[in-house]
Structure 1
Amino acid sequence: MAVLVIADHDGTHLRDSTLKVLTAAKALSPDIDVLVYGAGSATVAGQAAKAAGVRKVLTAESAGLNADIAEDVAALIAGLAAGYDAVAIPASASGKNFAPRIAALLDVSIISDVIEVIDAKTFVRPIYAGNALETVQTSDAKVVLTVRPTTFAATAADGGSAAVEAASIPADFAGTRFVGEEKVTSDRPELGAAKVVVSGGRALGSAEEFHAVIEPLADKLGAAVGASRAAVDAGYAPNDYQVGQTGKVVAPALYIAVGISGAIQHLAGMKDSKVIVAINKDPEAPIFQIADYGLVEDYKTAVPALMAALG
């Protein structure tokens, strides 16, 4: 059995999520290849080739792939899938976009958000916003799965010496074209990969208060900034800050929740964090049920005190 892992990268660096998907793939087979597609794939391929346990790295660039158009990515991977028994994809926004298309092209079911690999055909995934786990088994000849990176340890980034070769690229899909994009740039760590996350909730009351309270604390800790869905819906923070079932799933070493009550959909996105610190003036807030450290106090008092203690 051979597995094709789809690399997640920013055009310059191989993201940590790829190394975690490699760990999941190793539970399927020792024969693992990595596909690096899109702009900068030649640069990133060298990094992927050094990852422990990688047999071969494939690279692919075209206009559609560089723009991450789902139809082009799906056609590329479906064409390569003939040589593999499984395709493992990081459960990122991009991965969730093209993974179902690959499954449709191969006429197989998709297994999404895998958090444990039992064997080559049996997997565990969360349901009901993470409140229950289900074990699923597939009888399809090929397996297409998205892997939730936050639940797997990263494979060693060094120690491998895989060969790198170019993949055969199909023609770009004529029905979709890239028009443009607007990216939010920040000097802070990327939310999905940050070791420390500071999140704010609806209790902050306004966008001005959110920026005045959450961002200085995040900067002091070298942390990424997150937000609850309620805070995002209220306009306190942009969509890309949202943590939760309908936002980003994070598992940092430290997660600080300020003024977040702990709705089920928010907990689904951060409950795997190693240490959770909750600051809320409501002692009955659900977030205290999963917090490692809870402070029942108004954030207007607690956060300045924390800032002063940090120096």
Structure 2
Amino acid sequence: MQSSFKNIVILLSFVWITSSCEKEIDITVDPSNPVVVVEASINQFSATLNYVFITSSIDYFKPDLTLGGIKGAQVFIYEGVISGKDTLYPEYNKFQMFSVGETPFIDSLLPVVNGIYYNPYFAGKENTCYLLDITLPNGKKITGKTQIPKVVPITKVYYEIKGNPNKDGKRDALMSFSFIDPADQNNYRIALKKGGDSLAIGWGNADTYRTFDDALVNDVERTYPFAGGFKETDTVNLYFSTIGRTEYLFWQSFGSANNSGNPFSTPAVLKSNITGATGSFTGYGVSFKQIIFK
């Protein structure tokens, strides 16, 4: 999280206030009850970005911050079929997601982290709805629905190398990209990954995220600039994705929670699209480009 500096300022202020009083005050904060958190993703571009991550939330004040991945769940994703005005999720379109660390044929593909469920043979489809169905070891049911929207392609990528070389002989690089924003409502999420390997293993492996919509501008070519952070010879992998409105609102609320996560802040409300847990099942319509600044 990027709230470390904020936490330090608040904690220092709290120390100053209490130290300026003659009477010592003891504050006891009750531990929060853990809740199940789900991050599930599906896309049409890369199988390694189709996964379900199930964890138990960790108390902010708990000294042992070990990640609470949940093993032993039964996890399925159903591909939807349109029938008139309805979307059906038949059994024959059911795909099982297997637990990494418990299934030998995928252990070599992904890092072993408890709570990750994955199937290398499962691929998402553009303009298709999906149903997530989870049964935890204790019998609790968790469900969610999402759609992979129509892909909005990256049309152009621009970059410029400028300035004087640094001590390593590399100059600064600036980058932007363009796309044609359709006439209807669209919501977007950007992920950037630096390095030569374009195959991101999970969205959490990215270095930078951006989420935005087209509430003010539609049906035009748009250019999205990045405010530096690149150097000559860098390789950057750009994932530009369309997502649904509900999923967009979740990631916006997640960003707010991420920026205000400290013991003395007002808790942010995550706008989850998961039933039986908190979190998100997000369908990504991915357009991808790899850029080498040379």
Q: Which has the higher contact order (CA 8 A, sep 6+)?
A: 2
Question: Same fold judged by TM-score > 0.5?
Answer: no
TM-score normalised by structure 1 residue count: 0.27
The structure in which a higher percent of residues are strand is 2
TM-score normalised by structure 2 residue count: 0.28
Structure whose alpha-carbon radius of gyration is higher: 2
